[in-house]
Amino acid sequence: MKHTATLLINCPDRKGLVAAIADFLYRHDANILHADQHQDSELNLFLMRVEWDLNGFGLPVEDFEKHFAPIAERFQMQWQLKLATQKPKMAIFVSQYDHCLADLLYRHQSGELACDIPLIISNHPDTARLAEFYQIPFHVIPVTKDTKGQAEAQQFELLDKHNIDLIVLARYMQVLSPDFVARYPKRVINIHHSFLPAFVGAKPYHRAYERGVKLIGATSHYVTEVLDEGPIIEQDIARVSHRDQLEDLIQKGRDLEKVVLSRAVRWHIENRILLYANKTVIFD
């Protein structure tokens, strides 16, 4: 595991920002491994990600906030410090389709996703054997229109018990309540089986087939109260033709869904994403 720290910054754009940050890290003997920035001139906004090696870093991590505060205040920064050694805890929600779940669990086992997965929550028992194979606790919480509030209360209890940092909806076919979304802002990632903003909501492959599209896609995004309109993290597409039937679109789409979701989850875990104005900046 890497022994690094990552600083994420969002603030008004002005001269001297990069110099001030680099000078602060230099004065404390930081060896910068990666640094990237983005300016939005229209909103006069500056965003930055900088990662450095903690070996030889002359400032104890617990003292970072106290020493960095004057710079942050001077430049009106919103900032976060993330440590590679502190692996986030991720919960996966799934319904009956298992392809995204299987892909995430395999990538986690292979070391590609540097996180812990304390539990999987489903409203159906169909994927229990897959969770058992990877030795991850599996909880079935049925959801109906009349029991949605009760079901989410049970989910909250489990998520709080395990101190979950990130929730991934791996084809979880339920709309989260506003209360759920408000409890976990910018911490719920969904995969939608279309190239948003086209074909929002249910059965997008059916509507794409009926429309005769030549491209289908998949979109991973953060969940907000407005269905399928949260900040987009990643998208990809596949070409289809008049010869493809609905089943072909669904099969091609599932391949896209797995890749798009896993990329989004990995970038979140690696602290490569900053959000603003319902957009995302994905740093290399």
- Which residues are identified as catalytic? 228
DSSP 156: H
Please report, to the nearest 10 degrees, the dihedral formed by the alpha carbons of residues 22, 24, 27, 30 taken in order.
Answer: -60
Q: Is 95 helix (H, G, I), strand (E, B) or coil?
A: coil
Which of left, alpha, beta for 278 (phi over 0: left; psi -120 to 50: alpha)? left
> What burial letters (b/e) apply to 149-173, b meaning 16+ CB within 10 Å?
eebbeebeebbeebebbbbbbbbbe
First to last CA, the chain: 19
Whole-number Å distance between alpha carbons of 267 and 273: 7
Whole-number Å distance between alpha carbons of 72 and 50: 15
Strands (E), the chain: 4-12, 31-40, 45-53, 78-83, 89-94, 116-122, 138-140, 166-169, 188-192, 215-222, 232-239, 273-276, 279-282
Dmax over CA atoms of the chain, in Å, equals 63
What is the DSSP code string of 182-245?
Answer: HHSTT-EEEEESS-TTSS-SS-HHHHHHHHT-SEEEEEEEE--SSTT-SPEEEEEEEE--TT--
Tokens 């389709």 belong to 97
DSSP 174: S
